[in-house]
Amino acid sequence: MRLWRRLIGDRPIVTRLVLVVTGAMAVVLLAAGAFVVWRVAYALSRQLDQDLDAYQRVVDRAVAHGAQPPSDTPGQRYQVYDAAGDVVAGNMHKRLADRQEVHDTLAGRTHRDDIGSFLPPAEVAYRFVTSRVRTPSGTVVVAASISRHKHDEALRELLLQLALADLVTLAAASIVGYCTARAALNPVESYRRAAAGADSALVLPVDRNKDDEITRLGHTFNALLQHLDEAHARERQFLADASHELRSPLALMRTELEVAALHPQTAAEQTDTYASLGTQVERLIGLSNALLELEELRGLDEPGRTRATADVVDVSELVTDAADRLRPEADRQGRRVRVAVDEQVLVTGNARWLDLAITNLAANALRHGEGTITLTGRHAPGTSDVQVTVSDEGHGFPPRLARVAFDRFTRGDESRSSPGTGLGLALVKAVAEAHRGDARIDGSSISLRLPVGAVDAARCAVRLR
């Protein structure tokens, strides 16, 4: 492991890949080359032994009959030894078998051996075999040999060719491996440079014409970065909205407390102060809840959320319940609340958010409208959508206000002195978009339109609490 760490260690990924590929290729080439050399050497050696055995039979037959063995054949040599191990005949100047081998052959043990090295090449390289031969003058030992020159030269040429081929193959494999690894990791390096040079919103330079693993990783990172950027934008917007909207009630509360601390108050004045403080606290609570709910709705797509499953919701029941909660306050104002719903107007969605949207629509009509308030929940004509409409008998939204009514903290001039946070319709719009629907204003009517069966449960799912 230490050697591996020393060789590979903290080197760049491309270098490590090239080293590993080159090492693996070298092992494969060496194994393949060794197998080829072994097979070729085996075949050449077997052929050499066959030629040697044939020549040995010719020499033994000639010596046994007292004749002269053929000596004009290139690459073939022989020697004859007496019982003492001395050379008594032959056409080979260099001794083939030593005295011990001669004695062993006389005792019946044949020897087959090579003289001369393979590497470095020897001037004299032969393979010989000994045999015991009976002649008219007694028993002798004959050593027949055949040159290994062609055999060894063929093997050395094969080794040289394999070495050259392996070196060229390794060099080509290294170059191809380097280019391939570099091309594969170039997108990663471009991602790194883009991340290092980014000062705001980061978008990785992903090639849209590719569909490999790194490209898909880049798309995934871009989606994650977009989610993070949106989350940061929501966080900044939330902080800006909260600081802006909480400043006024907090400043008013501080002023009233300072006045109460500096000037003695009568019991009636203290009661008025406490009532004013209670009103501002209620406003703060309502504003905080509205901001948190709106942020929760806007963050439905944020990764890592614990999600709840969307349910089948009866919109007609939600409309009826909202009207029942609105009716006591409407009666105190001398106004009527009318409900017109179909039976079992069902959608797939989140009951809590749909109830909040319908309640906000009804509260908006009660707070800013006039006359009878009508709540309807029906299937939209000619479509499979569900439409919830809240209307009153007032003048409706001015055109300029209708264009921005669903934005945060949008309030009409005449409604700035009345209770409210300016977030009610923004919540309605967020709920509609979370359910793949929309919200529209038409005069004094506000409609919430929802698809029946095309609701993505994951989008309208919310954080459990």
What CATH number does residue 269 fall under?
A: 1.10.287
292 and 315 co-located in one domain: no
The winner for highest mean pLDDT among 80-94, 296-310, 355-369, 426-440 is 80-94
Q: What is the pLDDT of residue 455?
A: 39
C-alpha span between 405 and 422 (Å, rounded) = 9
Sequence-ordered list of residues with C-beta below 8 angstroms from that of 370, at least 6 positions apart, any chain: 392, 393, 394, 395
Residue 165, domain member (yes or no): no
Residue 29, domain member (yes or no): yes
- Indicate whether 185 pLDDT > 60: yes
68 and 133 co-located in one domain: yes
pLDDT in tens, 200-252: 667 788 878 888 888 888 888 888 887 777 777 766 766 666 665 566 667 76
Q: What is the pLDDT of residue 59?
A: 93
Q: Select from 298, 323, 338 the last residue of a domain.
A: 298
Residue 431, domain member (yes or no): yes
22 and 82 co-located in one domain: yes
Residue 198, domain member (yes or no): no
281 and 406 co-located in one domain: no
* Mean of all residue pLDDT scores within the chain: 81
Do 146 and 73 contact (CB within 8 A), yes or no?
no
321 and 234 co-located in one domain: no
Q: Select from 298, 324, 343 the last residue of a domain.
A: 298
Residue 176, domain member (yes or no): no
- Indicate whether 417 pLDDT > 50: no
Residue closest to 344 by CA, chosen among 307, 316, 324: 316
19 and 97 co-located in one domain: yes
pLDDT in tens, 95-121: 999 999 999 999 999 999 999 999 899
297/401: higher pLDDT: 401
Residue 196, domain member (yes or no): no
Q: Would you state the structure tokens that stand for residue 380, as one six-digit string?
A: 């939209």
293 and 355 co-located in one domain: no
CA distances (Å), origin 16, targets 7, 158, 212: 9, 32, 21
265 and 347 co-located in one domain: no
pLDDT in tens, 421-464: 567 788 788 888 888 888 888 888 888 888 875 434 333 443 32
Residue 367, domain member (yes or no): yes
29 and 148 co-located in one domain: yes
What CATH number does residue 393 fall under?
A: 3.30.565.10
447 and 316 co-located in one domain: yes
Using the structure block, give the residue that is written with the tokens 């104002």. 333
CA distances (Å), origin 251, targets 131, 279, 392, 419: 123, 13, 35, 17
Q: Select from 118, 138, 154 the last residue of a domain.
A: 154
pLDDT band at 287 (very low <50, low <70, confident <90, very high): low
288 and 356 co-located in one domain: no
- Indicate whether 8 pLDDT > 80: no
Percent pLDDT > 70 in the chain is 81
Do 464 and 306 contact (CB within 8 A), yes or no?
yes
The winner for highest mean pLDDT among 80-84, 174-178, 204-208, 249-253 is 80-84
275 and 323 co-located in one domain: no
Note the pTM of the prediction, 2 decimals.
Answer: 0.51
Residue 256, domain member (yes or no): yes
Structural domain for 71, as ranges: 13-154
Total domains present in the chain: 3
